[in-house]
Structure 1
Amino acid sequence: MGRQVERVAVIGTGLIGASWASAFLAAGLDVTASDPGDGAAERLRASVAAHWPSLEAIGLRPAADPGRLTFASNAAEAVEHADFVQESGPEDRAIKRDLFAVLDAAAPPHAVIASSSSTIMVSEFQDACAHHPERIVLAHPFNPPHLIPLVEVAGGVRTSAAAIDTAMAFFRTIGKHPIHLKKEVRGHVANRLQAALWREAFHLAEQGVASVADIDAAIAHGPGLRWALLGPFMNLDLSGGSAGIRGLLNSPLGAATRAMWDDLGAPSDDPGLTEAIAAGVADARGGRERAEIVAARDAVLIELLRRKADAAVLP
């Protein structure tokens, strides 16, 4: 471990895997991909071509080239010459265990093997690796990985510090912003934070406090704008003025905030709520295709990423 990464294997080329492949190609790396699905190679090349204009707008590395993508007939073949492996297969514990046993047996000993798993922890499949379980890590991206910098890196009970260090260094090298999770937890960090917000959003909709569109607007036109620049703790620190976060939490506003924590609700699992939320989202889309919204989102996101990179004062 610690060897320079020149070739990456991407295992699983669905939405996340294809986005990862695009990101690695844009970083000037050779990428070998594998996916058992019918037509997977053609779909992957089409996805890379669709992602490429956005990656060009962000800025490609000198050696970036979609032509450096190859497709292997199976996972073992894909990883046999890899320096780094990024798995993005189904979110199924049994499948991951079988897949990682194959990857561990076939990948060179120096290669770190990373999982994009959203909720499954490394320790739940790491013991299926009979050869080098110490090189198995979590590398959970945020959708879409070819644009969003965040990567959550964590180890399992048998992961070595060297594997964590290698993964963190690799992602920094290709322009990502990795964070290190010091403990395993279901859903990692960012998804748990999202889940907390979603839980209250569903609760507010179920209680009829506001419409689906207005709940979305409350975030998109309010705190979401600040959250795109600074995280929750830094935003609280700025909200406290010269006294900072300590002063805010020790003030009446801090007490009121704790009272709201106690008052947060839990939505039911009534299928009717799901249908009501889906109908509300459809109304808010107003006939616009999802692809149109995604394209507009990505265009603004690219500009935001560019501006953030220029604003060195932001952490």
Structure 2
Amino acid sequence: MSHQLSVIGTGVIGNGWIARALAQGWDVVAFDPDPAAPERTRAFIENAWPSLEKRGLAEGASPERLTFVDSLDTAVESADLIQENVPERLELKREILAAVDAAADPSVIIGSSTSGFKPSDLQPDCVKAPGRVIVAHPFNPVYLLPLVELVGGEATEPAHTERAQALYQALAMRPLVVRREIEGHIADRLMEALWREALHLVNDGVATTEEIDAAVVYGCGLRWSLMGTFLTFHLAGGEQGMRHMLEQFGPALKLPWTKLEAPELTDGLIDRVVEGCEHQAAGRSVAELDHRRDDFLVELLDLVQKYWPEAEGLEARI
């Protein structure tokens, strides 16, 4: 049975959803008011497709199963799942989601790719079936990274979440159902904490962007690819595990090792961050770096699966 994903907004994230759905053998209908959107999307898919082929395409997968339409109503009329990806402005998202809710069959799940807004803030103008409007937050590149955070709002019932889980699993995603609403959900809050500390280290002249990235890539990042934060620290406690680790290192949590609040983005700090990143890029284009990242992720995902084969669904581990 063929599925149809309807994508509203085709920036980097929207195009990532399109590429993933096509690779899973879905039909995709897309809407974006920008006349240049179709050409941009097809170039994106062409760039992503070699990595998707390496990961393995579903039967019937083809870039030709993408259709652009010229109205939002047409885009959602036959959808099995709708994914909204408009810019991160609350009023705009509420406006678009209300229009999608009004046009779509009330049984169809509407996922918002928002990285920060709570679903209860997105639902109020959706009068037909507000409970089916949820947060479905992915990670870039969406066509390779499997995590999607699912967050229900005040109007959302368990049945909505269960249907959403099944649909995103059909897209070969790993749904993580967030237990309660919070700005930034789970993963972005963790990433933002590291990001704030990294900006302070640059701002205070402690390290360059390249040195900070090296600290992550050759240290904690390698461990996190397999075990995450808590299991990594569990191993740090030796045979007694996490309890011993907290007894040993728990007092360090009270030490002033964190700045907590982000530094002010002065022109000087912005220049240092930008210049550092350009130095790291070493003249390579974003497209070249995209290919390098994707090739790495394809191999890394295979490696994670090899060492964590039982992790078929995140719900079994959360």
Q: Identify whether the pair has TM-score above 0.5, normalized to the shorter chain.
A: yes
Summarize the alignment of residues 84-163 of structure 1 with structure 2, pairs less than 5 Å apart: 84-163=81-160
Contact residue 85 and residue 111 of structure 1 kept, 8 A: yes
Q: Distance in 2 between matches of 1:263 and 1:9?
A: 42
Q: Distance in 2 between matches of 1:30 and 1:221?
A: 40
Task: Give the superposition deviation at 1:176.
Answer: 1.0
Instruction: Provide the TM-score with structure 1 as the length reference.
Output: 0.94
Task: Give the superposition deviation at 1:77.
Answer: 0.8
Question: Which letter does structure 2 place at the counterpart of 1:309?
Answer: Q
Q: Distance in 1 between matches of 2:265 and 2:282?
A: 27
- Structure 2 SS opposite 1:250: helix
Contact residue 225 and residue 304 of structure 2 kept, 8 A: no
The residue number in structure 1 matching 2:290 is 294
Contact residue 226 and residue 308 of structure 2 kept, 8 A: no
The residue number in structure 2 matching 1:235 is 232
1:74-120 deviations in whole A, cap 9, x for unaligned? 11110011111011111111111111111111111221011001112
Instruction: Provide the TM-score with structure 2 as the length reference.
Output: 0.93
The residue number in structure 2 matching 1:219 is 216
1:23-76 deviations in whole A, cap 9, x for unaligned? 011111111111001221222122122211111100111121211111111111
Q: Distance in 2 between matches of 1:289 and 1:170?
A: 35
- In structure 2, the CA distance between the partners of 1:195 and 1:314, relative to structure 1 (3 Å rule), is farther
Contact residue 86 and residue 114 of structure 1 kept, 8 A: yes
- Residue from 282, 285, 293 that aligns with 2:281: 285
Q: Distance in 1 between matches of 2:132 and 2:221?
A: 36
1:213-251 deviations in whole A, cap 9, x for unaligned? 111111111111111112101111111121111110012
Q: Does 1:268 align with 2:242?
A: no
Question: Which letter does structure 2 place at the counterpart of 1:107?
Answer: A
- Structure 2 SS opposite 1:128: coil
- Residue from 241, 256, 259 that aligns with 2:255: 259
Question: Which letter does structure 2 place at the counterpart of 1:243?
Answer: Q
Moved more, 305-314 or 29-38: 305-314
- In structure 2, the CA distance between the partners of 1:156 and 1:62, relative to structure 1 (3 Å rule), is same
- In structure 2, the CA distance between the partners of 1:263 and 1:92, relative to structure 1 (3 Å rule), is closer
- Residue from 299, 303, 310 that aligns with 1:307: 303
The residue number in structure 1 matching 2:178 is 181
Contact residue 230 and residue 314 of structure 1 kept, 8 A: no
Contact residue 122 and residue 137 of structure 1 kept, 8 A: yes
- Structure 2 SS opposite 1:222: helix
- Aligned residues with identical type, % of pairs: 42
- In structure 2, the CA distance between the partners of 1:25 and 1:92, relative to structure 1 (3 Å rule), is same
Q: Distance in 2 between matches of 1:5 and 1:92?
A: 33
The residue number in structure 1 matching 2:204 is 207
Question: Which letter does structure 2 place at the counterpart of 1:45?
Answer: R
Contact residue 110 and residue 132 of structure 2 kept, 8 A: yes
Contact residue 149 and residue 176 of structure 2 kept, 8 A: yes
Instruction: Please provide the CA RMSD for this pair.
Output: 1.7
Task: Give the superposition deviation at 1:257.
Answer: 4.0
Contact residue 308 and residue 314 of structure 1 kept, 8 A: no
- Structure 2 SS opposite 1:86: strand
Runs of 4 or more above 3 Å deviation: 260-266, 312-315
1:126-165 deviations in whole A, cap 9, x for unaligned? 0111100011111000001000011000011111211111
Question: Which letter does structure 1 place at the counterpart of 2:47?
Answer: A
Matched pairs, number: 311
Question: Which letter does structure 1 place at the counterpart of 2:66?
Answer: L
- In structure 2, the CA distance between the partners of 1:234 and 1:260, relative to structure 1 (3 Å rule), is farther
Q: Distance in 2 between matches of 1:120 and 1:18?
A: 21
Q: Distance in 1 between matches of 2:24 and 2:259?
A: 46
Where in structure 2 are there 5+ consecutive unaligned residues? 312-318
The residue number in structure 2 matching 1:245 is 242
- Residue from 186, 190, 195 that aligns with 2:187: 190
Contact residue 121 and residue 186 of structure 1 kept, 8 A: yes
Where in structure 1 are there 5+ consecutive unaligned residues? none
